Structure 1
Amino acid sequence: MTLIERLNQDMKTAMKNKDKETLSVIRMVRSSLKNREIELKRPLNEEEALDVVIKELKQQQDSLVEFDRAGRDDLAEKARSEIAVLERYLPEPLSDEELRSIVQKAVNRTGAASKADMGKVMKAVMPEVKGRADGKRVNRLVLEVLQ
């Protein structure tokens, strides 16, 4: 089942169960997916749909940081619950060991030897871990390996 099909199915389920919170998040994502399709003037493939979900998740995470900083616990809690719904549509996250292995292979492949080669390694790693590892986490591990 594709991501878009899962969203449609889950939207129907949320409507039946009167789960307003989940329904709201799914509608937001579907709207973003539709807008992206209109931009590209064609249907989205699975990877492009995943990119949209990741973008929505990052926006919610950024909002959560701002709400926490401003002391808006009500909005922060809403953002946390929306993040939880969005995370259901992401692939299984990589463990630290798996991620470290991918980073080490990329370092070996690119011949990186110092922090100056970090861009090469990041460029090699990020497409491989898309949606399964946060860029900050990858960045931290690349720095550790290149030390």
Structure 2
Amino acid sequence: MSIKEKIMSDLKDAMKAKKTDELRVLRSLKAKILEKEISERKGGEASISDEQVIEVLMKAAKQRKESIDQFEQGGRDDLVDNEKQELAIIESYLPEMMDDDEIRSEVQKQIEQMGASSMADMGKVMGVMMSKLKGKAEGGDVSRIVKEELSK
């Protein structure tokens, strides 16, 4: 079952069980996935791959994390809790994310393979790493670790 199919199935289940919070998040995800499908259409029918669905989910998760930071700074704990619940639902559909040590290991291998030695090589390393770790790690984490490794 694809991620999109799982979301649609869980949406139906949430409707039947009258889980309003989960239902709101799943409807939002469904809308974002449909938007992506429409943007991918080139005159005919188009369906999107799991990778593209993961991109949509990662973007939604990133938006929730940014909202959590802003609400915490504003002292809006009620909204922070709501965003954290939504983030947990979204993350349940994402594949397991790599931790910093795993990312660092991959970055070190890539730097060694490319012979990168300074911050001037960061763009080259980042280009390869982002395509390699797409859907497995957040860009901000990869960028931070690449900077750390090239600054040594």
TM-score (ref. length: structure 1): 0.92
- State the Cα distance separating 1:116 from its structure 2 match: 1.4
Aligned-residue sequence identity (percent) comes to 40
- The answer to whether residue 67 in structure 2 is matched with residue 63 in structure 1 is yes
2:31 — aligned with what?
31
Aligned residue identity for 1:20 = T
Aligned residue identity for 2:7 = L
What is the CA–CA distance in structure 2 between the aligned matches of 1:31 and 1:98, rounded to whole Å?
A: 33
- State the Cα distance separating 1:5 from its structure 2 match: 0.9
Aligned residue identity for 2:30 = R
**Structure 2 runs not aligned, ≥5 long:** none
- State the Cα distance separating 1:54 from its structure 2 match: 0.9
> What is the correspondence of 1:42-121 to structure 2 with a 5 Å cutoff?
42-121=46-125
1:9 — aligned with what?
9
What is the CA–CA distance in structure 2 between the aligned matches of 1:43 and 1:116, rounded to whole Å?
A: 39
What is the CA–CA distance in structure 2 between the aligned matches of 1:145 and 1:62, rounded to whole Å?
A: 26
Q: Cα RMSD over matched residues?
A: 1.4
**Structure 1 runs not aligned, ≥5 long:** none
Call closer, same or farther: CA 1:95–1:61 in 2, change over 3 Å.
closer
Q: For this pair of structures, how many residues does the alignment match?
A: 147
1:1-55, Cα deviation, whole Å (9 max, x unpaired): 2110110121122223322111111110000111111122121111111111111
1:35-89, Cα deviation, whole Å (9 max, x unpaired): 1111221211111111111111111111111111111111111111111111111
Misfit runs of 4+, over 3 Å: none
Aligned residue identity for 1:60 = R
Query: Which deviates more from structure 2 when the two are superposed, residues 6-15 or residues 49-58?
Result: 6-15
What is the CA–CA distance in structure 2 between the aligned matches of 1:67 and 1:17, rounded to whole Å?
A: 30
Q: Which one of the candidate residues 138, 143, 146 is aligned to 2:147?
A: 143
Aligned residue identity for 2:92 = R
